[in-house]
Copies of this chain bind each other. A is one copy, B any other.
Amino acid sequence: MGNLNEKLEHLKSEIDGRIQEILSKPNPQTLYEPMRYILRAGGKRLRPILLLLSCKAVGGDPTKCLDAAVAVEMLHNFTLIHDDVMDQDDTRRGQETIHKKWDVNVAILSGDGLVALSYRYLMSCNHPRIAEIGRNFSDALLELCEGQALDKEFENRWDVTLDDYFTMIRKKTAVLIALCTQIGAIFGNGAPEQIQNLHAYGLNMGMAFQIQDDLLDIVADEKTLGKDWGSDIVQRKKTFLLIHALEAGTPADAKAIHTIFNQKNITHADVRRVQEIFERTGTLKAAQKLVQKHVDTAREHLATLPDSDGKADLVAFLDLVSHRNS
């Protein structure tokens, strides 16, 4: 693992360096300053790293698609900015969100600007299949929007099933990670079945990642997490935990959850009560099991690739995801 962590640090600093360069433009300040603010706030650079490792895993040269790696990181940060506005989140990566530090207008516009920059960098990569890559990128962006729309719609619905939830997180989270592993493999000139398997690897990792995220919202330390504890509950999100608890719990549990969600304000004590229901109904365990299932499926898809350094890194990466605490 030490070896992987070292490699990841190296890739991360490569990407960070490139992002610094890009964001040197000073004006208009209200456009570029918030972009710098969010991109310099840290972040694990999970998506660009996965793109580069996937390129390597099919025998490609990752230095040839560094701009694409920067592009997916920018696209991801765009979604964070706009989602934070829609979710009225005040904190992100331990600092104020953009709409909180500036205002909603600045957040809308700096998000839009990141999308533009993102495509600009993607289109700078020289590859014969660049139009197809551009279509994949756009399909993923549209699905991200669909996922966020579903997420918001679910807040006002009590009939959300686990299947609805899986559709939503696939679009909102998994599709972007799958895009990274897919286009990494295309840039690396992988064979069609390698591209497919890496796409499936990314999709399953993304599902695992999001269910883990739902879990962390309720089991992680607020400081480690860099955002408010229990914020999914406060925002009345229909997470895996919530839907599972409604299905697995007693009618009294469901009633308690309904009552809390119908209150005007949800307090820390309320979050604590919902957390107890999650524990008692075996919901936390079910979530952990599902994370593991997706991690295993992702690993199986990798197994079809020929052995290589890149493949080994992607396998090891799965453990990082299932053991992450922030």
Q: Which residues of A contact B (CB under 8 A)?
A: 28-31, 82, 85-86, 104-105, 108-109, 111-113, 115-117, 119-120, 122-124, 126, 130-131, 134-135, 137-139, 141-142, 144-146, 148-150, 152-153
Contact = CB atoms under 8 A, between A and B. Distances in A.
Given A82-B108, A135-B124, A152 B119 contact: no
B149 A109 contact: yes
Given A28-B150, A111-B112, 12 more contacts: A28-B153, A30-B153, A85-B104, A85-B108, A86-B109, A113-B142, A113-B145, A115-B115, A116-B142, A117-B138, A117-B142, A130-B134
A108 B131 contact: no
| Residue from A111, A117, A142 having most chain B Cβ neighbours under 10 A | A142
Contact of A141 (B115, B137, B144): B115
A16 to B, nearest CB: 21
Contact of A116 (B31, B123, B126, B138): B138
Nearest to A124: B135
A145 B112 contact: yes
A26 to B, nearest CB: 12
B116 A141 contact: yes
A141 B108 CA distance: 14
Contact of A146 (B31, B124, B130): B31
Contact of A112 (B29, B30, B115, B150): B115
Contact of A148 (B109, B134, B149): B109
Contact of A142 (B120, B122, B137, B144): B120
